[in-house]
Structure 1
Amino acid sequence: MAKVKYYYDADTLSYRKIAVKKSDYYKKTIFVFLAILLNGFIGFIVFSQFIMSPNERALNRENENLQLNLELLSKRVEESSTILAQLQERDNNIYRVYFEANPIPEEQRKAGFGGVNRYKSLQGYDNSKLITDLTKNVDILSKQLVVQSKSLDEIVVLAKEKEKMLAAIPAILPVKLVDLTRMASGYKWRMHPILKIRKFHKGMDFTAPVGTPIYASGNGKVIRAERSATFGKVIYIDHGYGYKTIYAHMSKMKVRKGQKVKRGDLIGYVGNTGRSVSAHLHYEVHKNDRAVNPINFYYGDLTPEEFAAMQKAAEEEGQSYD
């Protein structure tokens, strides 16, 4: 039941009932209704912050999943960077050292990009820092991989060249050990058998019967195959890389000038031609046009014991055979 309101009338000195106009009633009703609507709207806005639609939930899960994948990818990039750093260290300190190549400077391996901000388009998002850092690391890793790839390509070329050089260096005896009568004269001052003066003997003399096979001690090209007053029938082989070998006093030559030979190829036979007093092979090794001791180049043919015995024989005093 609605409350009845009164007011005091001073003229009549009595209380009178307040009559409510219909317009006031309607205004009050409308005001209350609007207040309810306003409260409801505000409550909906606040409540909607805590309750998401199915699409919003799906998007939120997708964002969380993307962030997790970005973090995992970032860790993998860091692991790859660590592996690459180990490869770079081996490259500089092992591979390039072995093949006598200069190491790649650190500033070249890890040079920056410079210029304008390459990552400006990645700014302004919730995960901008994570995405930007990851993109930077991927760019750096990619650049370092390119540098390392080029280095390994260079190493492959150097390895092939090293293989050619090792095959070219005179590394075996020109006469098989089983065919030798003895090693008569080494690389040192000797008494010349014909001139009867002390003269430096630039090679080694291997005594063997006439007709004993003589072999090329390394890959190369025959640059001279001729007969001379001093060396008789003689062959000169250019092995490249500054190495040359001489095979003198042959009875017969099996190669000609300009012919390419490989280590172990038959090039002629032991003889006693030229200025020689007995059947033997006079053998010389030259490096950059200077005669060097041939005994240092038999590592591909002799056991340590055989090498020691030959070295001892080469040091013995006596005259040469040419």
Structure 2
Amino acid sequence: MSKVKYYYDPDTLSYRKIEPKKSRRYRNIAFFILGSFFFGLLALILLMNTNLINTPQELSLQREVNNYELQFELLNRKMGQMEEVLANIANRDNNIYRLYFEANPIPEEQRLAGFGGVNRYKSLEGFNNSEMIIETTKRLDIIKKQMAIQSKSLDQITKLAEEKEKLLMAIPAIQPVRNEDLKHMASGFGWRTDPFTKARKLHRGMDFSAPKGKPIYATGDGKVIRADNNSSGYGKHVRIDHGYGYKTLYAHMSAYNVKRNQKVKRGDLIGFVGSTGRSEAPHVHYEVWKDGERINPINFYYGSLSAKEFENMLKHAQQENQSLD
């Protein structure tokens, strides 16, 4: 109930009731409605920009955003684990694999380098979670790059390993005659007495004395380049090219078991002990060549001799006795 207002009338010496004009009443009503409208609009705007009142669609979208943030957090944890694994592989790659195969290590800067030049992540800017999305995308890109570098490195290591295996199998590493067939190691590499002229002569191989007909074996993988009797003094002999600058020669055979251009493996039977050519008794004259130079074969028996057997051979090889060819 609105208050009734009065005013004092000096003419009548009495209070009279104030009667409001209709225009003022309508104006007050209009101001009230207009004020209520603006107040309500302001309240609506404030509510729409707060989390106090959300529509079902907004609540659903908010749940999706929260889920995406959780997924991003889980993804970052997994990327952290992947980075640890890649760091471990890179460490072994540089300090074990590449070191063993004598390959240069990959610099850390190259493995961890980002992407320069054009802003690759411009399309991800301007969102509420742009910083998180861009950072996660950068980490993924770097991990992908690290994996590509590591993959190429492991491909290279695989090739080096295959080449290393071929090299190890090609290097002469066993005796041409088995110990059970061997009478004795007749003569070593160095100055020896020639059995025919009795003069001191440089003996450029090793002589293995064995009964005629005993098997002779290839000391490393390679290809037969000669199996003939056309070289003075060697008689029937076989020469094998092992690659990597290595060649071996097996002389004074009684018979061949291989022919020219035939590929052989270490331990393959290539011929039989004899005394053909310039020879005093049945034996194998064995030579090792490296880059065109004849070298001492004593250093190439690690694949067939024990430490004691090698020591015994070394003792006999150092004796300046008479050779058999």
The reply to whether TM is greater than 0.5 is yes
1:183-207 C-alpha deviation (Å, 9 max, x unpaired): 1111122111112221221111011
- Paired residue for 1:118? 120
Matched, 1:275 2:278: yes
Matched, 1:320 2:310: no
Matched, 1:199 2:188: no
- Paired residue for 1:8? 8
- TM-fit CA distance, 1:145: 0.8
| More moved, 187-196 vs 100-109 | 100-109
Between the aligned partners of 1:4 and 1:267, the Cα distance in structure 2 is 136
- Paired residue for 2:293? 290
1:223-276 C-alpha deviation (Å, 9 max, x unpaired): 122223311112111111111001111122222222222222221111112221
- Paired residue for 2:31? 31
Q: Which of 251, 254, 271 is equivalent to 1:248?
A: 251
- Paired residue for 2:69? 67
| TM-score normalised per structure 1 | 0.93
Aligned partners of 2:222 and 2:241 also within 8 Å: yes
- TM-fit CA distance, 1:303: 1.9
- TM-fit CA distance, 1:81: 1.3
- TM-fit CA distance, 1:100: 2.2
Q: Return closer, same or farther for 1:39/1:112 CA change in 2, 3 Å cut-off.
A: closer
2:31 partner letter: F
- Paired residue for 1:152? 154
- Paired residue for 1:223? 225
- Paired residue for 1:258? 261
- Paired residue for 2:133? 131
2:55 partner letter: S
- TM-fit CA distance, 1:137: 0.9
Q: Return closer, same or farther for 1:203/1:143 CA change in 2, 3 Å cut-off.
A: same
Q: Return closer, same or farther for 1:203/1:2 CA change in 2, 3 Å cut-off.
A: closer
- TM-fit CA distance, 1:138: 0.8
| More moved, 306-315 vs 243-252 | 306-315
Q: Is the partner of 2:281 in helix, strand or coil?
A: coil
- Paired residue for 2:85? 83
| TM-score normalised per structure 2 | 0.92
Q: Return closer, same or farther for 1:42/1:193 CA change in 2, 3 Å cut-off.
A: same
Matched, 1:234 2:237: yes
2:42 partner letter: I
Between the aligned partners of 2:261 and 2:5, the Cα distance in structure 1 is 136
Aligned partners of 2:6 and 2:17 also within 8 Å: yes
Q: Is the partner of 1:268 in helix, strand or coil?
A: strand
- Paired residue for 2:110? 108
Between the aligned partners of 1:209 and 1:6, the Cα distance in structure 2 is 152
| More moved, 168-177 vs 299-308 | 299-308
RMSD value over aligned CA atoms?
2.0
Between the aligned partners of 2:111 and 2:202, the Cα distance in structure 1 is 53
- Paired residue for 1:42? 42
1:142-183 C-alpha deviation (Å, 9 max, x unpaired): 111111101111111121122222221111111111001111
- Paired residue for 2:188? 186
Percent identity for Structure 1 against Structure 2: 58
| Alignment length (residue pairs) | 322
Between the aligned partners of 1:115 and 1:13, the Cα distance in structure 2 is 95
Q: Return closer, same or farther for 1:178/1:114 CA change in 2, 3 Å cut-off.
A: same
Aligned partners of 2:193 and 2:320 also within 8 Å: no
- TM-fit CA distance, 1:6: 2.5
